[in-house]
Structure formats: C-alpha cells, structure tokens
Amino acid sequence: MGIVGKDSGSAVVPKDEKAAEQTKKERFEDLKERIGMYKPMWDKNGIIQFKNECIAILQRRLGAQVEFIIAFEDLTREGYRLMAIDESGGNSGAYFYFQKMEYVK
C-alpha cells in the first residue's frame, strides 16, 4: 500500500527499497516537526484529553461521569461523531475517539 496523494487520490508506490525507506523517513520527520503544535493541546489528566478542529479524545474515569457526559454532549453538538472506544485503559478508564464529520470522507 502506497501513500495516497493529497490532490489526486492516487497511490504513490515507491519503485525500490531505497525510495520506500526515504518515504518512511520523510513521514517520521513530518510527525516530529508537528509535535510542537499538538503537545500544548494535550491534557493527559483531563476528561478532554485532546481536541482540535478535526478530532477529539475523551477519557472516562471513575468519579467524573457527569463531566464526561457534559463533554460528550458538547462534542456531539459541535459536529463530532464517536468513531472508536478503547477500554484497555484499566484503572485509567476508557478512551473515546471522535472525528468531526466534515473531515470524514
């Protein structure tokens, strides 16, 4: 599976191993460059763990059910839709992953 071009929607398949490694390196470098934009929005101890214009992540914890309900409702009213639930958090509770529907194609 190749990288999907932003404009054309077609897959770009590397022709050889060296090109594939270069593509991986470029993706990783791109991720590293954007960490500074995302990290300030991350609240690892909050009900709303992360939220931007495209996605939101809520954490449901023991003793904070009402806060979770309010945050869930707010996201729904803002046009986010629940896409996945991760209940593997153990004592830290469950994580709820939302996407704003205008970004889902």
Same domain for 71 and 49: yes
Same domain for 49 and 24: no
| Per-residue pLDDT, 1 | 39
Same domain for 46 and 34: no
**Chain position carrying tokens 């809520």:** 58
| Per-residue pLDDT, 26 | 92
Task: Please check whether residue 2 lies inside any domain of the structure.
Answer: no
| Per-residue pLDDT, 4 | 44
Averaged over successive runs of 10 residues, the pLDDT of the chain (105 residues) comes to: 48 72 90 90 92 95 93 96 88 89 83
C-alpha to C-alpha distance for 42 and 48, rounded to whole angstroms:
9
| Per-residue pLDDT, 5 | 44
Same domain for 52 and 21: no
Same domain for 74 and 26: no
Same domain for 62 and 33: no
> What six digits make up the tokens of 83?
């896409």
**How many Cβ atoms are within 10 Å of 75's Cβ, its own excluded?**
19
| Per-residue pLDDT, 12 | 61
